[in-house]
A and B are shown apart, each in its own frame.
Chain A
Amino acid sequence: MPSEVAPAAEISITPAISTLSCANRWDHILARWRVNRSGHRISPGLYALGKPGADSPIFISANYTLSFDALRSSLAGIDAYILVLNTYGVNVWCAAGKGTFGTEELVERIETSELAKVVRHRSVIVPQLGAPGVAAHEVKKQSGFSVEYGPVRAADLPEYLKTHKATPEMRRVRFGLLDRLVLTPVELVGYLLYILIAAAVLYFWGGLSAGLMVILAIAGGAVLFPILLPWLPTRDFSTKGFFLGGVLTLAVVLMNVLWLEADASPWHKVLGGVSYMLIWPAVVAFIALNFTGSTTFTSRSGVRREIYSYVRIMAISFIAGILLNIVVIFIK
């Protein structure tokens, strides 16, 4: 439909399309592997998807490529405006928590992009996860535009737009296997340097099994832990981590005792095993605790309680294990 309220010439609207190019997909892969972490940005401002008119919906997004691209690729065949806020290259939910995706920025962008001249209606669709930063009633009061909270996932938008009502299922944030899986490269890359240094040092200190143990422990914490999260026993991340670390360490200890160090004295085997069980489950538990920030459900109160309950135990266990391991070196 041709628009009846023609946008004034000075209003800058950037054209956008709903299809993702190879360059876009490559950018997503880099972002998932933590390359140039805060550099996946687009310019904030108003975008036109398809041929929007004065009655077309306005979607609000963040200037993080993964956020913006998830939105536009979900809107194939829909004519709409997208107003991109400046969140400094951070996704909608995290930016809402910080307040950069927030009431102030939204009201200002509505004004500077002269939305009131571009469309006839007075409503914007904000992603539900933007709500921690946006006070809908304040936006209405300050800009005249009412805020409509769309679904959590952009993929649900075509269904949502039929009735402008989100089902309870659309309103719930999930953390399924795929959601957890896509986070593992970022976790792994974050620990990569530590893995390489620790594995090299421990290889010379304790041989093949020590080098293998460090890789298993850190990769276990960074990759296996997120994947196995719902199936590991207990609710706390630390205790889940101790459990997973215990299982992984036990496997290496058994391999040592039965095979790699089968000729060693019983004392060497027992104390070596105990030192491993003190060091490595604590390391995995610490990595597991740090995964709380990547999940979609941990409260600050709970995480604080975990830190107070377990970090001291992890540190004591780790240091005791290292000391014991030094002693073990001298027992053949």
Chain B
Amino acid sequence: MFNSYKANTLQYNPELCIGCEKCWTVCPHEVFAPNNGKARVINSEACMECGACQVNCPTKAIKVESGTGCAAAMMKAALKGSKDVSCG
């Protein structure tokens, strides 16, 4: 109840992981942990969809619909019918 943040769009395919540990390095919320040459998702719920891991994964093992979690910007964009979600 009253938790809209349980699910997000983070998807990780361990088969493509080469163990470079970049995802673990760039994540500001410790979603990933290095684990014997393959990354492991240890806290999926903490993901804020910033996209740093996806952008820095050299083998495209990580997919996330990144974007800014800002209600003001999202509602403004929706009202204007624009796709540009950003600060004023």
Kindly list 5 other residue pairs between chains A and B, CB separation below 8 angstroms, not including A171-B25, A235-B2, A236-B5.
Answer: A134-B55, A172-B29, A292-B70, A300-B67, A300-B69
- Mask of B51-88 contacts with A, CB within 8 angstroms, 1/0: 11001101000000111111111110000000000110
B87 adjacent to A290 (CB under 8 Å): no
**Which of A199-207, A223-231, A250-258, A305-313 interfaces with chain B?**
A305-313
Residues of B near A162 (CB, < 8 A) are none
- The reply to whether the CB of A155 lies closer than 8 angstroms to some CB of chain B is no
Main SS at interface, chain B: loop
User: A301, B56: Cβ atoms under 8 Å?
Assistant: no
State A235–B46 Cα separation when bound (angstroms). 12
A227-242: CB near B (< 8 Å → 1, else 0) gives 0000000111101000
Q: How far is the CB of A193 from chain B (nearest CB, A)?
A: 14
Instruction: Knowing A236-B2, A236-B3, A300-B49 are in contact, say whether A293-B72 is a contact too (CB < 8 A).
Output: yes
Known: A168-B30, A298-B48, A302-B69. A235 touches B5 (CB 8 A): yes
Across the interface, name the chain B residue whose C-beta is closest to A166. Answer: B25
8 cross-chain pairs, A with B, having the tightest CB-CB distances, nearest first: A293-B70, A302-B5, A131-B52, A131-B26, A298-B69, A305-B4, A173-B28, A234-B2
Q: Find the A residue at minimum CB distance from B58.
A: A137
Q: Is the CB of A307 within 8 A of B47?
A: no
Q: Which residues of A contact B55 (CB under 8 A)?
A: 131-135
Query: Can you list 14 pairs linking A and B with CB atoms under 8 Å apart?
Result: A96-B52, A97-B50, A97-B51, A134-B56, A137-B56, A237-B71, A293-B72, A293-B87, A299-B47, A300-B74, A301-B49, A303-B70, A303-B71, A305-B5
Select from chain A the residue with minimum beta-carbon distance to B23.
Answer: A131
Overall SS of chain A's interface: helix
A116 within 8 A of B: no
B41 touches A (CB below 8 Å): no
Out of B52, B58, B72, name the residue touching A290 (CB < 8 Å): B72
Partner of A135, one of B1, B7, B56, B86: B56
Size of A's binding interface in residues, CB under 8 A = 45
| Contact across chains for B29 and A173 when beta carbons are under 8 A apart | yes
B11 at the interface (CB under 8 A from A): no
Neighbouring B residues of A297 by C-beta, 8 Å: 29, 46, 48
How many chain B residues touch A (CB < 8 A): the figure is: 38
Question: B9 within 8 Å of A by Cβ?
Answer: yes
Give, as a whole number of angstroms, the nearest-CB distance from B47 to chain A: 6
A235 in contact with B25 (CB, 8 Å): no
A289 interfacial by beta-carbon distance below 8 Å: yes
Nearest-neighbour CB distance to chain A for B38, whole angstroms, equals 18
Nearest CB of chain A from residue B68's CB, rounded to whole Å: 6
Q: A98-B86, A300-B67, A301-B65 are in contact. Are A311 and B28 (CB under 8 A)?
A: no
> Are A307 and B87 in contact (CB-based, < 8 A)?
no
Contact A132 B4, beta carbon cutoff 8 Å:
no
Tell me, in angstroms, the Cα distance from A289 to B56 when the chains sit together.
Answer: 30
Chain B proximity of A248: nearest CB distance (Å): 19
Contact A299 B69 (CB under 8 A): yes
Inter-chain contact A303/B86, CB cutoff 8 Å: no
Q: Pick the most buried of A128, A296, A302: most chain B CB atoms within 10 A of its CB.
A: A302
**Which residue from chain B places its CB closest to the CB of A294 in the assembled complex?**
B70
Q: Which residues of B contact A128 (CB under 8 A)?
A: 25-26, 28
| A172 CA / B46 CA spacing, docked (Å) | 11
Bound CA–CA A134/B49 (angstroms): 15
A94–B71 touching, CB < 8 Å? no
